Chain A
Amino acid sequence: MKNEKENALQPDVPLDIARWGFPSHYDVSLKKDSDDIFEDSRVIVNIGPTHPAMHGAFRCMAKLNGEIIEKSYCEFGYTHRAKEKLGENRTYHQFIVYTDRLNYCSSLINNVTYALSVERLMGVEVPERATWIRMICAELARVIDHLICVGINAVDLGAFSYFLYGYHQREKAYTLIEQLCGARLTTSYTRIGGLMYDAPEGWEKDVKAWVKETRDVIDEMDRLLTDNRIWLNRTKNVAVFNKEQCLNYSFTGPNARAAGVDIDLRRDQPCMFYDKMDFDVPIARVGDVFDRYYVRMEEMKQSLNIISQCCDKIRSGPIWSEDKRVRIPEKAAVYNTMEGLIHHFKFFMTGFNVPPGEAYTAFEAANGELGFYIVSKGDVNAHRMRIRSPSFWHYQGLSPMIQGGYIADLVAALGSINVIAGELDR
């Protein structure tokens, strides 16, 4: 807008119709078809930022010829919360809560990745039990995320009851997470060098029971939808993004594996105990909506395998690293000794120093490669806290993906790449 300040002071100034693309009530003298802004009978359709088919606050504007999308333009940033700036101005401990709000469908994975990245920079090792619990958390969050992704994708295409099967199971998983940390969505469960609380007694048995139940549910969902003719017509060869395009647009995770990109960081760069786990990486070839759906379905089964293996191997033991720099003092010491109180105060008021250096730590999150690039200058807060979020790169691929397709397939494509606004905008 040219006269920004004037407009800001006088909200009654008519809006520029050519820029809006639809008539505003200020201008009644408009003669020609208001959609025809290029005067070539193309229709401009604006979807979002608050539209039920857009999973979050982002926006897509499409130029249509009939039902075919000729050109589209995507915009986002409506939930930008300046996380990278906050990372530079909060201590490493304080930043844990902000990582929940990245991909809010699988916040435990974000917690785990952030904790790993700071521990890696400091050289802190966490005990075995904490690592096993973290792995269970990560896989639990992955299953939840995929359940919601395939469910919502099916809802967008009209299969509502399918979604409820998954949602029911997701609620039970949230109850398991609630037993761990008291929160369901914004968990903030990991601490640097350990965990917030130990898992309650018998928790792994509950998890194993849930795994058994979920296997049946996923099989049921599979039988319900995968061979359905309407579903196949709506998803096969729709919004194809092939291997070359995926590499060009930096796609990672299930969306890239659906097109045949054989990268899974759990297998290729095994952190924690993933190298001891027995699991497969599902790969599809075409890269259409169906492949993305089916790769997620298969990945859930593999994640359930990993969870049950972890539950077998987990043993009781400490959950905190012995490293004095990151260990949050015991409450008994805080309330009963002067030194403990000072330690507690120093820990939470000033934080701990991370030695200078830089590290990029990536982990296979539910949507793809989630990376934290932390540059430390030896201070209590990071010099640069870069969050490499998978959705940012996936959403960039939406425009080329839907070009030449039908407007109805835009909804299928958007649901299948599973763009999460919190992670996209950061």
Chain B
Amino acid sequence: MNVKTLIPGNYGYFPEKFGEIWNQQIESILAEFSSGVEKVLKPGQDATDLPILYVKKAIAHSFLQTLKEKYNYSFLTDMTAVDEQNDPRFELVFHLMNPETKARIRIKVRLSENEKIGTFIPLWAGANWAEREIYDMFGISFEGHPDLRRILMDVRWEGHPLRKDYPLRGYQVFLNPEPIDPELLK
């Protein structure tokens, strides 16, 4: 892997500013969650712009809670998934930001195809729709989610479009519009 590709030009601000902070934080995180962290990738050594921590599913919630409360990575910038096409199939990707120092960090949780994970809404209320989108696009289910329905596609849609094996052409036709379920307003 060509490391030099990610040495930034005039848009680079991450490794110079936060390199030391990240190293210290990753050390103390590893001391705390030694068995739960599978792999650590660091900018400068690996082809990435942010440090990536691969976390086991079992400790994902307590890990993110620690990051949120102890290390003040309390801003959920983005939550998404990637279909890696190998075993385990999916990666759940969290981009967190520290609103004080504006340092960012990337957390990944690997999930196999039919594996479920608990919802992250207790940590961030904003994770609600992000989880719905991940469910819609990748078919990853979140246990305990109050309203896990499709969000971008029609609720009657079959298949999960952002999976790599999803066909690029084809039609699904619905003649009647699907109304909003009044149960949701109770």
A contact residues vs B (CB 8 Å cutoff): 1, 4, 7-8, 11, 15, 18-21, 37-38, 44, 46, 59, 61-63, 71-73, 75-77, 80, 82, 84-85, 88-89, 116, 119-125, 131, 245, 247-250, 261, 263, 265, 268-273, 355-362, 369, 371, 373, 375, 383-384, 386, 388, 392-393, 396-397, 400, 425-426
Contacts and interface: CB of A to CB of B under 8 A. Distances in A.
Contact of B9 (A1, A123, A392, A393): A123
Contacts of B153: 77, 80
18 contacts: A1-B176, A7-B175, A7-B176, A11-B176, A15-B176, A21-B182, A38-B182, A120-B49, A123-B4, A248-B125, A249-B126, A250-B75, A261-B99, A361-B11, A362-B77, A386-B93, A396-B128, A400-B125
A360 B2 contact: no
Interface in B87-129: 93, 95, 99, 102, 104, 106, 124-126, 128-129
A37 B77 contact: no
B171 interface: no
Interface residues of B, number: 60
Nearest to A81: B152
Interface in B157-182: 161-162, 166, 168, 173-176, 178-182
A263 B5 contact: no
Considering the complex of A and B, which 5 residue pairs feature the smallest CB-CB distances, nearest first?
A357-B47, A125-B9, A355-B5, A250-B126, A271-B11
Contact of A123 (B5, B77, B175): B5
A273 B5 CA distance: 21
B99 to A, nearest CB: 6
Interface string B131-162: 00100010000000000000111101000011
Main secondary structure on A side of the interface with B: mixed
Given A44-B185, A250-B75, A384 B48 contact: no
A270 B47 CA distance: 22
Contacts of A369: 77
Contacts of B11: 116, 119-120, 271-272, 361
A361 B13 CA distance: 11
B51 to A, nearest CB: 12
Most buried by B among A116, A131, A392: A392
Main secondary structure on B side of the interface with A: loop
Contacts of A37: 182
A360 B173 contact: no
Contacts of B185: 44, 61-63, 71-73
A357 B1 contact: yes
A32 B55 CA distance: 55
A8 B102 contact: no
B58 interface: no
B156 to A, nearest CB: 6
A357 B6 contact: yes
B65 interface: no
Contacts of B4: 123
Contact of A359 (B49, B168, B173): B49
Most buried by A among B77, B80, B175: B77
A263 B78 contact: no
Contacts of A71: 185-186
